[in-house]
C-alpha cells in the first residue's frame, strides 16, 4: 500500500537508487557472513529429485549457453571467491566452491525480498513490476547455482574417493619397489 507519494521522475530516481543500494548492500552483507555458516547439507541447498541433477535447468533454460555472461558480484567486494571458473579439483577447494555457491544463491534469494518494499512509494502496478524485476533479475543467477552445484558435488565425491584411495595406491607402489 502506497504511503509516500512523489512525482513520476522522483519515484523513478528513488527506485533506481534504492535498488542499487539493496543490490550492493545485500551483496556486501552476504560477503561478510563466514562461509562456514553456509551448510551444503541444509535441505534447501540440496538437489531435489525433480531437478534431475541440475539437468532440468539445461533442458528448460539452456543454462550452459548463458551462465558465463552473468556478472560476478565477487568482483565488487574485496577478498571474495569467484565462481566463474573451477580452478582446482582439490577436495578442499571444491568444498569451498560448494559453500560459496550456496552463499551466492542465498544472496540472490535475499535480493528478491526487498521488492515488496517498493509498494510503499509506488503504485500497486509499479510495485508488482518491482517484485517482477526482483524475481527476474535474480532468477538466472539462482538457476546457474542450482545447475552447477550437483556437478560440483559429484566432483567432490570423486575427489574425496580418490584422496582416500591414493594412500593405498602409494603403499602398493612403495611395496612393489622394495
Check whether 170 has a pLDDT greater than 80: no
Give 177 or 90, the one with higher predicted confidence. 90
Which pLDDT value is given to residue 1?
87
Task: Let me know if residue 42 belongs to a domain.
Answer: yes
Instruction: Name the domain count of the chain.
Output: 1
Task: Let me know if residue 3 belongs to a domain.
Answer: no
Task: Let me know if residue 2 belongs to a domain.
Answer: no
Half-sphere exposure of 164 (CA within 13 A, CB side): 5
Contacts of range 89-95, beta carbons closer than 8 Å, 24 or more positions apart: 89/155, 89/159, 90/159, 91/156, 91/159, 91/160, 91/163, 94/152, 94/155, 94/156, 94/159, 95/40, 95/156
Check whether 39 has a pLDDT greater than 80: yes
Whole-model pTM: value is: 0.87
Task: Let me know if residue 85 belongs to a domain.
Answer: yes
pLDDT in tens, 22-38: 999 999 999 999 999 99
Task: Let me know if residue 23 belongs to a domain.
Answer: yes
- b/e per residue, 114-131, with b = 16+ CB within 10 A? bbeebbebbeeebbeebb
Domain of residue 67 covers: 8-177
Query: 8-32 and 124-177 are packed helices; what angle lies between their axes, rounded to 10 degrees?
Result: 20
Q: What is the mean pLDDT of the chain?
A: 90
- CA dihedral over 69, 33, 152, 106, signed as positive or negative: negative
Give the pLDDT band of residue 166 (cuts 50, 70, 90).
low
User: Which residues fall within 8 angstroms of residue 61, CB to CB, at 6 or more apart?
Assistant: 140, 143
* Longest pairwise C-alpha distance within the chain: 86
Check whether 148 has a pLDDT greater than 90: yes
Task: Let me know if residue 131 belongs to a domain.
Answer: yes
Task: Let me know if residue 1 belongs to a domain.
Answer: no
Amino acid at each position: 500500500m502506497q504511503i509516500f507519494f512523489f512525482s513520476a521522475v522522483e519515484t523513478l530516481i528513488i527506485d533506481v537508487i534504492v535498488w542499487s543500494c539493496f543490490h550492493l548492500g545485500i551483496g556486501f552483507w552476504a560477503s561478510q557472513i563466514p562461509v562456514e555458516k553456509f551448510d551444503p547439507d541444509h535441505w534447501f541447498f540440496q538437489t531435489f529429485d525433480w531437478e534431475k541433477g541440475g539437468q532440468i535447468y539445461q533442458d528448460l533454460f539452456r543454462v550452459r549457453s548463458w551462465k558465463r555472461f552473468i556478472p560476478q558480484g565477487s568482483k565488487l567486494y574485496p577478498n571474495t571467491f569467484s565462481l566463474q571458473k573451477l580452478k582446482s579439483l582439490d577436495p578442499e577447494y571444491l568444498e569451498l566452491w560448494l559453500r560459496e555457491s550456496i552463499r551466492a544463491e542465498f544472496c540472490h534469494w535475499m535480493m528478491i525480498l526487498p521488492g515488496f518494499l517498493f509498494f510503499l512509494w509506488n503504485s500497486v502496478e509499479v510495485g508488482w513490476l518491482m517484485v517482477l524485476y526482483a524475481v527476474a533479475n535474480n532468477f538466472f543467477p539462482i538457476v546457474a547455482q542450482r545447475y552447477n552445484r550437483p556437478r560440483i558435488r559429484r566432483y567432490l565425491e570423486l575427489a574425496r574417493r580418490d584422496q582416500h584411495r591414493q594412500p593405498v595406491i602409494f603403499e602398493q607402489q612403495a611395496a612393489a619397489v622394495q
